[in-house]
Each structure stands twice: as C-alpha cells, then as structure tokens.
Amino acid sequence: MREVWAQKDQDCGYERLGQSAGISSSNLKTQTNNSTMSYCPTPLHEIVAINSGDAHWEHLRQQCFDVRIDVFHHEQKFPLEAELDDQEDTATHFLLRLLPSLTPVGTIRLIRRKSYYKLTRLAVLKDYRKFKFGRDLVLALHDYVKKEAFEAAHRPDTTSSAIIPEYVKVHSHSQLYVKGFYAKFGYEPEGEEFDEDGEPHQLMVAKLKIQHSCP
C-alpha cells in the first residue's frame, strides 16, 4: 500500500501518516473541534461514510478520488491510471471534510474480504497532515467495522447455533517505515515482507473486539 508522510514538527505535533481511502453519507458521522494542540488547533471537521447507492454518493466518492489523485498522482507521482481500481464500487469510502465549508481534505477506503476487512488508500492533503487527520480516519474506519460486524452477528436470520465472533480482523499492507503508525492502533506484523508497488511491505493485522452487550 502506498504511504504518504507529513514532516515532523514538535510544536505542531506533526505525525507521519500512512495512505489508504474514505467514509459515506449513510450513518456514520464524526464531528469534532479538538484543540488540544496549543499552537495548531484542529479545525472543526466531520467524517462521512460513503457506500454505493447512498444519497449523493457519486459526488462524495468523487471528492475522495480527488484527494487521492492530488496526493498520489500529483504529489507522489504515481500513474493516474493505477490509482482507481475494480474495488471502488463495492468499497466503503470515508471522507474527512472541514466544517462549515465542507472542504474535502482526507480519505480512507474499506474493502470487505470473506474473513477480514482491508484498510487501504489512506490519504490526507499536505497542508492538513499536521492535524493528525490520518489517525481520525483510521479510528473512524475501525468504529465502522465494529458496528458492521456487530450487526452482521446479530441479524434476525442468524441461527441460534451460530458462533458469535469476539473479534473482527482488519488487514493493512504497510510500508516498513509506517509499521509504527499502525502499531499505535493495535496492528501486529504477520508473515514475511513482500514487494508491492516496488517497495517492501509488511502485512499488519489488527483484531478489533466486538462489543456484544451494552456497557
């Protein structure tokens, strides 16, 4: 998975960010005005989850694409034709946008596999990486995965004898120097290193606990 980094700056709390994709206008909305950084207050923003068929989904998904193209094609010089793939229509895209302007500045993408989810295409525009929006996008994706896994385990058509899973797995193909970023969210390396996009990568796997009862 391609990675995008922000310059380290102690005063503004810059953090290196890994790259993946988007959130839709369905149900999940996260709104915050966290100003814990004394010199660089975080702008008011929301994260929206986007699935095919949602209201205005094509427009919102295109905003996710625009962020990715800006970061990966214009900034990182990856070929434009390699940015969009055959997973776009079935994936859930997350869009981080500023409020009240609705300016899109970040995205992450969630792909469903038979036994796990895959985190991909995490991208934040260069001017906004200092606000740790990459972290916000990963956490929003995790919350979405846990909610979806809970609902799947408790569907009315689920048989009483079915095994209710305690955890759901999320995979990420991490460049080696981004492993520390994913480790902060509970990801652990599995298997051998491998080549992807001409760079050495490591499979990182997180096991997210599913809350099956009310706290």
Residue written as tokens 């955890």?
A: 167
- Does 214 score more than 70 pLDDT? no
Measured in degrees and rounded to the nearest 5, phi and psi for residue 10 equal: -60, -45
pLDDT tens digit sequence for 46-86: 999 999 999 999 999 999 999 999 998 999 888 888 889 99
Measured distance CA(50)–CA(151) in Å, rounded: 18
- Segment 143-163 shows an average pLDDT of 79
Measured distance CA(9)–CA(93) in Å, rounded: 29
What integer pLDDT is reported at residue 1 of this predicted model?
61
Cα–Cα nearest to 34, from 132, 134, 139, 142? 132
Contact 21, 107 (CB under 8 A): yes
Alpha helix stretches (DSSP H) within the chain: 57-68, 133-153, 179-183
Regarding predicted confidence, which is higher, 31 or 197? 197
Structural domains in the chain, sorted by start: 30-209 (3.40.630.30)
